[in-house]
Each structure stands twice: as C-alpha cells, then as structure tokens.
Amino acid sequence: MGPPDFPEDDYHTRETAAGHFIENVYPASPDSFRDAATTYYRRLEKLGQTVDAIFALALNLPVDFFREFTDAQIGALRIIRYPPTETTPLPGQLRAGAHTDYGTFTLLLSENRPGGLQVHTRDGEWINVSTPADAFVVNIGDLMMRWTNDRFVSNPHRNHWQQCCPKSRQSIPDALSNVKIRHGLHRRRQA
C-alpha cells in the first residue's frame, strides 16, 4: 500500500514518479479494511517522523534536520501472511532472501514466532531477531548508512525458516520511511 492520498501536483504526477504514486487497490472485505489500513499508514508516517528526529539527535543535529529531505515520501506498507508449514524446510530454503533496504529505514511489526527475521552481522554470522508484539524493529537502510558515513549500518537481513511452523505468522514491514527521498523535481533552498 502506498500513500492513501497525494496531491495532483508536478512532483507527484510527473513521469518519474508514476510508479510510486498510484491509487491503492483494497480488498472488498472486510468493509473496514480500507479505513483501518489508511489510519495505520498515517500513524506510521508520524512514527517515521519521530524516528527521523531520533536519528538527527543521535547525530547531534537539529531535531528537524531530515524533515526537509523526507517530506515527500514514496514508501510502501506491506501486510504479509506467512502460511503454516507442515514440513521442515530444505537446507538454505528461505521465505525472503538476504537483502538490504535501500532507503532511510524500515519499521517492522511482526509476530514473534519461529521462522522470522535474521540479521547478518559484520562478523559474518546470521542472528535471530526477536520481534515483540508491543515494539517495532527498525532496519536501517542504505540511504541512512550513506547519509551518516556508515555511522548507522544497513545490515543484510532475511526471513529465515528453521522448522515447520504449525501456525501462520503475520508480518507488516513499513517501508514508509524507507524511501523518503526526492526524485528529480525538488524544492531548492533560496539563497
């Protein structure tokens, strides 16, 4: 799900933005899904702004330092259901392969069940990440790593599947803040 609404201006409608700003398609049921998803998206936008401010403060920068560069986000909210499994996975079999996130950061809300997030350390080890129900996991993205000259690191991560999982698992990665960057047409500071 992308932004639930956006203005019809040059920034949002130009050709280079076309893939990022399109109307969302919602399921027909439940009836409340669209409103619930939109409300959740908007709350995560606000949380993303708070996380931006925390990064700025951690870098001894003004609290609103990143706001100028992240005010026209092109992120996506995904709701993923990993179905239950009845068999043990094959060696090396994954539910999502190793990757880094390309933007500033991703907020992850997930059920803490077997077969979840793993992060690759700089020592070359894959470690399991606990995803408590009352907290978000923050994956730092490549853009934040670049902006901070590697002070914050974008570690590869994956969705590992270690055993058969008798229950399904829900994961809601929010790349909302992940890709808050400008594309070609942007406001320029006045001299």
Average pLDDT over residues 28-37: 90
Which of the pair, 111 or 40, is modelled with greater confidence?
Answer: 40
Comparing C-alpha atoms, which of 76, 99, 75, 95 is closest to residue 85? 95
Classify residue 188: in a domain, yes or no: no
CA 58 – CA 45 distance, rounded (Å): 20
Close Cβ partners of 41 (under 8 Å, ≥ 6 residues apart)? 1, 3, 4, 77, 176
Classify residue 180: in a domain, yes or no: no
Is the pLDDT at 187 greater than 50? The verdict is no
pLDDT for 168 equals 54
Phi, psi of 48 (to 5 degrees): -60, -40
CA 134 – CA 109 distance, rounded (Å): 9
Is the pLDDT at 178 greater than 60? The verdict is no
How many percent of the chain have pLDDT more than 90?
A: 16
Domain count, the chain: 1
Q: Is the dihedral of CA 21, 7, 62, 53 positive or negative?
A: negative
pLDDT for 122 equals 86
Classify residue 90: in a domain, yes or no: yes
- Structural domain harbouring 55: 10-174
Classify residue 42: in a domain, yes or no: yes
Comparing C-alpha atoms, which of 70, 69, 75, 71 is closest to residue 24? 75
Q: Is there a contact between 163 and 115 (Cβ–Cβ < 8 Å)? A: yes
Q: Is there a contact between 159 and 99 (Cβ–Cβ < 8 Å)? A: no
The overall average pLDDT reported for the chain is 77
Classify residue 5: in a domain, yes or no: no
**Tens digit of each residue's pLDDT (9 = 90 or more) over 74-116:** 777 777 776 777 777 777 766 677 888 888 888 887 777 666 7
How many percent of the chain have pLDDT more than 70?
A: 79
Classify residue 123: in a domain, yes or no: yes
| Distance spanning both ends of the chain, measured CA to CA | 38
Mapped onto helix, strand or coil, the DSSP state of residue 163 is coil
Q: What is the pTM of this model?
A: 0.76
pLDDT for 56 equals 94
Token digits of residue 147: 């902006």
Is the pLDDT at 158 greater than 50? The verdict is yes
Comparing C-alpha atoms, which of 163, 58, 176 is closest to residue 108? 176
Provide the CATH number for the domain around residue 100.
2.60.120.330
Which of the pair, 179 or 137, is modelled with greater confidence?
Answer: 137
CA 26 – CA 87 distance, rounded (Å): 33
**Tens digit of each residue's pLDDT (9 = 90 or more) over 104-153:** 888 887 777 666 788 898 899 988 888 777 888 888 988 899 989 999 99
pLDDT for 35 equals 92
Classify residue 109: in a domain, yes or no: yes
